[in-house]
Amino acid sequence: MLVIYAEKGDVANKIAAALGGFKLPSGTEITFKNLKAQEKAVKKFQRDQGYLDIFFHGVPCKVTWGYGHQYGLKDVFEYDPRLKPWRVRPVCYIPEQFELHPLTSSEANFKRLLDQQRRITAELFKKADRIINATDDDREGELIFAYIYEAVKCRVPYERVHFTDQTEAGIRHAFDSLIPSSKVRNIELAGRARSIYDWLIGTNLTTRMTLKFPGNDVLSIGRVQTPVLKMLADREEAILTFKSEPFWNLKATFTTGKSETYKATYKEEKMRDKAKADKILAEIKGEPGTVTSIVQKNVRKEVPLLYSQSALQIDANRLFGYSSKKTLEISQALYEGGYTTYPRTKSQFLTDEMEPVVVDTLTALSALPQLKSYLDSKPLKPGAKFFNSKKVESHFAIIPTTSVPSSLPPDQQNIYDLICFSLIRTIYPDAMLTKTVVETTVKLYDFTTIGTAIINAGWMAVAHKPKESLIPLLSKGNSVSGAYEVKEGKTEPPKRFDDASLIAAMKSAGKDLEDKELRKILADPKNEGIGTEATRSEIIETLLRRGYVERKGKCFHVTDKGLNLIHNIPVTDMLSPEFTAKMEQKLSSIADGTL
């Protein structure tokens, strides 16, 4: 008997439907085409039976599933019951051998489902002649399967299926291209190393810090969450200690002989001496200006790369105000719906052989009314720069699939459109702009104007709202009339992090390090700063849940609890980007088999 194990039920029913279909107790045959319409009946059947019967290449097969992580590493007291009170534990506890326990839930119905699926999975694995691992094919997906396989003491050979999308064709292709388990063993080991290392940090330092600073709350420490909290705390303190100072700008509005206007700023911006600004204003009041210099430079604005998860989260936060968690959840839902490819990717490139896939996808997208105008009469020839197999590891950039939705909820539509626009732009040329710097002199005082004009919109014609500052056509020597004023401003503190800027900061953390070796590590595309594409949003949510950070509007504010933790943690090494960089580099080296 063959057993296929999926990470969750929704994926399992799609696999079963795509590989030949299955039958409900009512006699209804479920195929990929009617799966959505029969969703309610299918889910009830799944809850009742815990697996789906299909035939795969003529062999009887049972498709089963879990609910994410089914097993985790045991707590300290499970190795030694005498160590249940934290106060009696050694400063650092390391078991001789790490062991697993089943994970549970405080919600009764969910606990029942967890226990049922664990029991069914164990029974099926013991009866199986062959197993296919169909969890997400990343570090955590390998770990989820490995822990189940270990916990039920399974020795049956297994293979791994690698999805790029969850369309019917994509699922079938993946199951016709199975990967030997030996090929993913190193990724599993990296997952195990991550799990053990996080346990060592979290268990031991959380215990020590909570005992050292007793109060009502556990002081949770994490390998990744604590360095991120340090970034936020540093910014918080820079804001809290910032002392605003006044400055004055001298502004001009010039009018040409054709009654066209343009604005300019005196070249010495942010003058700290108001008397000086007032003196200049008095000298030039009512005086005309002369255009003394015009410098124009053509600027090429390249087509943006395709989306990784981080790049998508940054744009979704900037355009729609979505949190990083919300964007990840939406992109996961689109993937599970079969409309987009795997979302937890760090690559912004496609593999060298994917041009025909892109052409087929663009052809499919042209049927959608909101996209048709961007594709009509355009040659479907994507730029070569988007295809680079060397810059793709396990997953390529996020793109739409040929399965186009007839309708989507508004939030999903927003993210889907972003992903579609990013692919459509690959068939457009770079945008050409001209940047103009004009100097207008009034008496001996120079005022500067910077304007940009679009020569050729190129890719910017695809759902892009340029913020270009346009200026009238001017010539050197033109005389213009001027109106002048002194405007007061105040120096502003650093901006608070929002989801977009925090994701960007986590992704680039440590890349300005003085240590050349660490800079080299972080410059490697395989290494990702702090966290990964799959985990950054959850890291942020963990800080929020634990009361270290609050979200006010779009911005993050660090609480007193968060600041106190950062001030008091004695292991200062683990707060630095170097610490995280070294660990991520080691985990990557384990995954690629060099460590």
DSSP 522-536: HHSTT--SSS-TTTH
Per-residue pLDDT, 224: 87
Per-residue pLDDT, 458: 93
pLDDT at 161 over 60: yes
Say if pTM beats, i.e. exceeds, 0.85: no
Per-residue pLDDT, 252: 97
Per-residue pLDDT, 296: 92
**What is the C-alpha separation between 45 and 291, in angstroms, rounded?**
78
List pLDDT tens digits, range 576-592: 877 877 788 888 899 99
Q: Scan for tokens 């683990």, then name that residue.
A: 574
Instruction: Report percent pLDDT > 70 for the chain.
Output: 96
Kindly state the average pLDDT of the residues 104-112: 87
Per-residue pLDDT, 516: 60
Cβ density class 347-370: b for 16+ within 10 Å, e for less: bbbbbeebbebbeebbeebbebee
Per-residue pLDDT, 334: 95
Kindly state the average pLDDT of the residues 166-171: 90
Task: State the Cα angle at 113 between 175 and 141, rounded to 5°.
Answer: 40
Banded model confidence at residue 429, pLDDT cuts 50, 70, 90: very high
Torsion on CA atoms 254, 256, 257, 258, rounded to nearest 10: -130
Per-residue pLDDT, 137: 84
Kindly state the average pLDDT of the residues 531-537: 83
Banded model confidence at residue 560, pLDDT cuts 50, 70, 90: very high
Per-residue pLDDT, 581: 72
Please give the residue that has the higher pLDDT: either 261 or 530: 261
List pLDDT tens digits, range 6-34: 999 999 999 999 999 999 999 999 999 99
Torsion on CA atoms 52, 54, 56, 58, rounded to nearest 10: 150
pLDDT at 394 over 80: no
Kindly state the average pLDDT of the residues 83-89: 95
**What is the C-alpha separation between 462 and 417, in angstroms, rounded?**
11
pLDDT at 543 over 70: yes
SS3 436: strand
Per-residue pLDDT, 525: 55
Provide the strand spans (E) within 129-187. 130-134, 158-160, 179-180
Query: What's the half-sphere exposure (Cβ side, CA atoms, 13 Å) at 402?
Result: 11
**Taking the CA atoms of the chain, what radius of gyration do you get in angstroms?**
29
Q: At what angle do helices 536-545 and 225-240 cross, to 10 degrees?
A: 60
Kindly state the average pLDDT of the residues 519-536: 68
Tokens, residue 295:
């410098």
Range with the poorest average pLDDT among 129-138, 466-475, 483-492: 466-475
Own/partner pairs, 354-359, CB within 8 angstroms, 24+ separation: 354/387, 354/396, 355/382, 355/387, 358/382, 358/386, 358/399, 358/423, 358/426
Banded model confidence at residue 390, pLDDT cuts 50, 70, 90: confident
List pLDDT tens digits, range 440-484: 999 999 999 998 888 898 999 998 877 767 788 889 999 999 999
Range with the poorest average pLDDT among 244-253, 289-298, 438-447, 512-521: 512-521
Kindly state the average pLDDT of the residues 394-411: 92
Concatenate the DSSP letters of all residues of 43-76 into one string.
Answer: HHHHHHHSSEEEEETTEEEEEEE-SS--EEEPPH
Cβ proximity of 82 and 88 under 8 Å: yes
| Mean pLDDT estimate for the chain | 91
Kindly state the average pLDDT of the residues 516-521: 57
Range with the poorest average pLDDT among 47-61, 200-214, 272-286, 508-522: 508-522
